[in-house]
Amino acid sequence: MSRLLVLAGLAAIVALGIGFAIANRGNEAIVGLGFVTLRAVPVAFVAFGGMVVGMAVVLAAGIHADLRVRRLLRERHMTAREGESLLE
């Protein structure tokens, strides 16, 4: 049952993406990246690129936070081990 819901959700997301691309197939945008300006870029590519860049930023932030938590837990674990050896 759960796998069916996942597949249905994935199919809905793909269908929405295809619908967005079809609805905006004639629209173009100018993308200024600071060092280069891209002209006549399809809006679907701009949206997809924004999604990919957003996912990369979230991944980088998540890795940074995860490494910080792991470091704190490692320090806490080492401190607890030192405290145990002192009590014995």
Mean pLDDT in each 10-residue stretch from start to end of the chain (88 residues)?
90 91 89 91 89 94 92 85 57
pTM of the model: 0.63
State residue 75's pLDDT score.
87
For the stretch 28-33, contacts whose Cβ atoms lie closer than 8 Å and that sit 24 or more positions apart, written own/partner, are none
Q: Domain containing 75: what range? A: 2-87
Closest CA to 30 of 44, 42, 47: 42
The domain total for the chain is 1
pLDDT for the residue numbered 86: 45
Name the nearest CA neighbour of 31 among 16, 45, 20.
Answer: 45
Q: Is the dihedral of CA 15, 20, 23, 27 positive or negative?
A: negative
